[in-house]
Structures are given as C-alpha cells and as structure tokens.
Amino acid sequence: MAVLVIVPFTLASIRHLVVRSGRPAWLCRRLTARTRSGGLGLGATATEELHAFFNANKRVQIEQRQAQLVLRDDDHSGAPPRTGIDLDGGTAVVRGRR
C-alpha cells in the first residue's frame, strides 16, 4: 500500500522540480508538452491521476474536461462573428467592437 503512495508522490515531486528549474531541457519539454490530440503531457496526466486518487472532486473535474472535448463548438451558435477569413479570395475581415 505504501508503494502506491510513495512512488507516485516521488515522481510528481521530481516532475515539479524539473519543470520549475527547466533542467534538463529535453525532460522539461517532454513533461510539459501537449499531446497531438490536445491533451495533457505525460507528467501532468500522472500528477492529475495521483491527485484524483486522493480527491474525488478532481476525478469529477477530469471527467468534465473529457466531456467538454466531445461537445461541438459552432461559430454560428452565439453572437455574430467578429472575424471572417476567405481563403479563396485571400482576404480577412476583423470587425471592431461597437
């Protein structure tokens, strides 16, 4: 049981030290990088899972974030757009606030 707590805590502590110091640079980039699908990096995911293990509210937050990624985001569902890009015509329109 102690291994389930000590090992992830040690890894999360090492991740925190590496990210704060920025050294070694390659490991810092790897731990803070986002995945191709827009998710969190390896270190952040491990730290969040450890946090969720001890705090049920964090599990709810992670599930809510995953549900938010599935929802569709339409441009025309809200206020009129302020920007418009015409790729064929090579023009971009930006309207200021009134």
> What count of residues does the chain have?
98
pLDDT digits (tens, 9 = 90+) for 63-81: 898 888 788 766 555 556 6
Q: Give the pLDDT score at 36.
A: 63
pLDDT at residue 93 above 60? yes
Q: Give the pLDDT score at 34.
A: 63
pLDDT at residue 62 above 80? yes
Q: What residues are paired with 91 via a beta bridge?
A: 86
Cis peptide before 24 (omega within 30 of 0): yes
Q: Give the pLDDT score at 35.
A: 59
Residues contacting 42, CB < 8 A, separation 6+ = 30, 31
pLDDT digits (tens, 9 = 90+) for 12-59: 777 778 878 888 888 777 766 665 655 566 667 777 887 888 888 988
Residue type for 67, please? A
